Structure 1
Amino acid sequence: MSQPTKKLILSTECVPDDIVFDILTRLPVKSLIRFRCVSKSLNSTITSRIFITTHFKLNEAKSLSNKDSHNDYLLYTSKSEYFSFNEEELVAFVCNRDRILTEISRFKTPFCFLDGYFVNCFCNGIFCLSRYDDDTIICWNPSIRKFKMLAPALLTEFFSWVTLGLAYNSQNNDFKILRLMCSQKSDEEPDGPDRPAEAEVYTLSTDSWRKVVISVDSSEPNIGYVYHTSPFIFFNGALHCIASTNNGRFILSFEVNDERFHKIMLPQDSLGGYQGCLAVFKGLLAFIVLSRDIDPICDIWVMKEYGLVESWTRKSVPIDWIHFFLGVTDNGELLFGNDTELNLIDPEKNLNQNIRVSKRYIRWVGYASNFMESLVLLDGGKCIV
């Protein structure tokens, strides 16, 4: 902390409160955490709900307006070489425009990773952790080393698949989690139809769940299955995932502000691939499809006009044999992975570059184009020690 800054903060009685508030909202998270120790009044200001919200909105606006800002990240949680789970970390790399990865930070993971939790989804720097064997969910903000155990979910009946989506609610300056559940077939009717999926929504500010009705088509209102292998994409104020009914696959969207579901049809020629995932490609909703051909092909289907099925367009890119798709960088490069390495592919120039990140001790790997630091959970989360 520099001496001039310290004098300003310690002499707040000479500066109007609104000016101090405005100055503080423009400071980085690390500085704000340190300034909490200066005085009780500063601590009270920084931990208040209105300050946390104002600081978040300014950071979000800055991130969206600055095209040269580094908010394009490769993330993974690592284990030590000797499998000491106490040393697990979240590692963040910047995907630079020169196609070189630069490590910028390491965050100690919550102790709950010891109990089998994994990263399920994330949005704007907030991570959602869950387990395979129960309904417990945790929100985690690594930038301030805080996490929060969420209230118990309402739908606790055994389901074959549970899919979570985390989104920022701009209307109420809040975070929401959509929880979709697809039931197994009953023992009495193992060959019978799938039970319809059910849904509930969690609101961070109230720490509570509410059941919501999935209804997208009056002729076929029930969603039978949600593809957990294609995680939610938060785009255009809505969460998007791949779902299906008896009539086939489609995109199920959930508008976060008004909590309404919608159905967006996939391009008909896209349904033959062995893996399909949603992504955001150069600011547009996209469906990435990997083929089973002898010479593997990646089809990039882009929706030129959001919601208009006729606007789907395709670009095919040859690829090496890969196992999973991770995401699309802000530059439109595709990030893939296999058992030993990560690959960055430029579909415009047909360039394929290996990324030297050892996967031997990686528990989870993901990609984020909206990773940002914030004070979310500062007023109610538990500290990681």
Structure 2
Amino acid sequence: MEHYLPTETLFDIFARLPVKSLLRFRCVSPLWCNIIDDPSLAYMHRLRCAEEPKVLLLDPPTDQPVPEVMFGEDGMFLKASLNLLTRFADSKEYFLQGWCNGLLCFTKKFCADSPLFLLNPLRQEVVQVQPPSPWIDKPQYSWLRRVYGLGFDSSTNTYKIVGLLCGISAQVYTLGGSWRAITEGQGPPCAVFGWPIYACGALHWLVKLGAGTEGDLGRGKIVYFDVGKEEFGLISRPEFRPSHLVDLRGDLAIVDRSSDKDIKVWVMKEYEKKEWVKEYKIGLAGVPRKAQVRVMGLCEHGEILLKLKQKKKQDKSRNNYLFYNPKTDMLKYSHIPSLNGDTQVLCHMSTPLSVAKFRAAE
């Protein structure tokens, strides 16, 4: 086919195909492989392909031989092993720091100066990024926890990692480049914790009401980092005690769990205006009253994935997953296979981007 179709035409066709098909087509010829591995195709694919999110299951590293990647029979879920990370570090425990456009960012657990690992689970490729050094030239800060976030700058078609040190220091890493300190006075307005949610070109952290010190400007608000402008700011939230933030197919959303009977999901439809709209109300009939329920995101057919955590006997926790269909207003338990307490589940948009292309720059 490459003898009859110009490269530009092949590029346009590939940008509209599912990632699973593209990875198979890499074997057709060296030309096809080069086109599919071109970072420009990944960026165009993100804009043109109508592929829906999959449910991604991330199994922790194990000594048992397991398939690195497996698709569900109906194509609804993607199951991947984190064994690949053990080839880069002498550890079997990793902390998910964030995810964006098909890439995931990990660090080693219980290691303050851990390198970062950027993973494309579908391609089973990983690139190691050294942490910024030094974080700050004061020994008394050496014990503070580092927080990272992964985002995408659409103006330059580049991925960036922002590293935060407890509201004191912030640095930015551009994939394939190096770490740079944020200009003094442009750091985060308060300390943030946990993984951020990437949406609308920015990373977002929800600062709980009890967080920070008295008088902290960020208390009870949302801290954001504009990935393109590399600037921090604050967003006001609706007037209720929020549970968590979530990415709903590119839109920033916040979850209200103030009622035991239902979950309300507010979506920021017009990000520039910073206006919230109550988009979903999910009834919890049949769900145990004391169970913790977390909205994970949108997946195929517009269904919302929910994580249900409850206590078993002997104080052992158990995770179940449900799908909510907004069209029928119905909840159903999932058929996600082989879940255990350590398996992480995400709503995932795959990407053909090869992170191995950036190893030479590390």
| Helix, strand or coil at the partner of 2:228 | coil
Match of 1:342 among 309, 314, 321: 321
Name the CA shift for 1:145/1:286 in 2 (closer, same or farther; >3 Å): closer
Q: Which runs of 5+ in 1 are unaligned?
A: 95-99, 183-195
Q: Write the deviation string for residues 27-56 of structure 1: whole angstroms up to 9, x where unpaired.
A: 453245324xx55xx499459xxx623211
| Helix, strand or coil at the partner of 2:130 | coil
Give the aligned partner of residue 373 of structure 1. Answer: 351
**1:174 CA drift (Å):** 1.2
Give the aligned partner of residue 254 of structure 1. Answer: 225
* CA RMSD of superposed structures (Å): 3.5
Give the aligned partner of residue 289 of structure 1. Answer: 256
**1:358 CA drift (Å):** 4.9
Say if 2:56 is the partner of 1:75.
Answer: yes
Please tell me whether the aligned partners of residues 278 and 288 of structure 1 are also in contact (alpha carbons under 8 angstroms).
yes
Name the CA shift for 1:215/1:323 in 2 (closer, same or farther; >3 Å): farther
**1:124 CA drift (Å):** 1.7
Name the CA shift for 1:43/1:315 in 2 (closer, same or farther; >3 Å): closer
Please tell me whether the aligned partners of residues 74 and 92 of structure 1 are also in contact (alpha carbons under 8 angstroms).
no
Distance in 2, matches of 1:114 and 1:301, equals 42
Give the aligned partner of residue 193 of structure 1. Answer: none
Give the aligned partner of residue 212 of structure 1. Answer: 182
**1:130 CA drift (Å):** 0.9
Say if 2:76 is the partner of 1:102.
Answer: yes
Please tell me whether the aligned partners of residues 167 and 239 of structure 1 are also in contact (alpha carbons under 8 angstroms).
yes
**1:125 CA drift (Å):** 1.7
Match of 1:129 among 100, 103, 106: 106
After superposition, where does 1:110-121 map in structure 2 within 5 Å? 110-112=84-86, 115=91, 116-121=93-98
Q: Write the deviation string for residues 222-261 of structure 1: whole angstroms up to 9, x where unpaired.
A: 6332131xx3222111111113553522111111111111
| Helix, strand or coil at the partner of 2:27 | helix
After superposition, where does 1:1-385 map in structure 2 within 5 Å? 5=1, 8=2, 19-20=6-7, 22-23=9-10, 26-27=13-14, 28-31=21-24, 33-35=26-28, 38=29, 42=31, 45-46=34-35, 52-63=38-49, 66=50, 69=51, 71-78=52-59, 84=63, 86-87=65-66, 89=68, 102-103=76-77, 106=80, 109-112=83-86, 115=91, 116-132=93-109, 133=111, 134-154=113-133, 155=135, 157-182=141-166, 196-206=167-177, 208-213=178-183, 223-228=189-194, 231-243=195-207, 245=212, 246-247=216-217, 248-268=219-239, 270-271=240-241, 276-281=243-248, 284-291=251-258, 295-308=260-273, 311-313=276-278, 316-319=281-284, 320-321=287-288, 322-329=291-298, 331=302, 333-338=304-309, 339-346=318-325, 349-358=328-337, 360-361=339-340, 363-369=342-348, 371-381=349-359
Name the CA shift for 1:56/1:288 in 2 (closer, same or farther; >3 Å): same
Name the CA shift for 1:104/1:368 in 2 (closer, same or farther; >3 Å): closer
Please tell me whether the aligned partners of residues 138 and 149 of structure 1 are also in contact (alpha carbons under 8 angstroms).
yes
Distance in 1, matches of 2:184 and 2:149, equals 15
Name the CA shift for 1:114/1:252 in 2 (closer, same or farther; >3 Å): same
Bigger Cα displacement from structure 2, 346-355 vs 168-177: 346-355
Name the CA shift for 1:90/1:120 in 2 (closer, same or farther; >3 Å): farther
Instruction: Pick the structure with greater CA Rg.
Output: 1
Letter in 1 for 2:172: V
Name the CA shift for 1:306/1:180 in 2 (closer, same or farther; >3 Å): same
Letter in 2 for 1:119: L
Letter in 1 for 2:7: V
**1:286 CA drift (Å):** 1.5
Letter in 1 for 2:222: I
Letter in 2 for 1:265: S
**1:345 CA drift (Å):** 2.7
| Helix, strand or coil at the partner of 2:46 | helix
Q: Which runs of 5+ in 2 are unaligned?
A: 15-20, 310-317
Count of residue pairs the alignment pairs up: 323
Distance in 2, matches of 1:211 and 1:168, equals 18
**1:60 CA drift (Å):** 1.0
**1:209 CA drift (Å):** 1.0
Give the aligned partner of residue 185 of structure 1. Answer: none
Distance in 2, matches of 1:44 and 1:283, equals 29
**1:353 CA drift (Å):** 0.8
Distance in 2, matches of 1:117 and 1:76, equals 15
Please tell me whether the aligned partners of residues 144 and 378 of structure 1 are also in contact (alpha carbons under 8 angstroms).
no
Distance in 1, matches of 2:293 and 2:145, equals 19
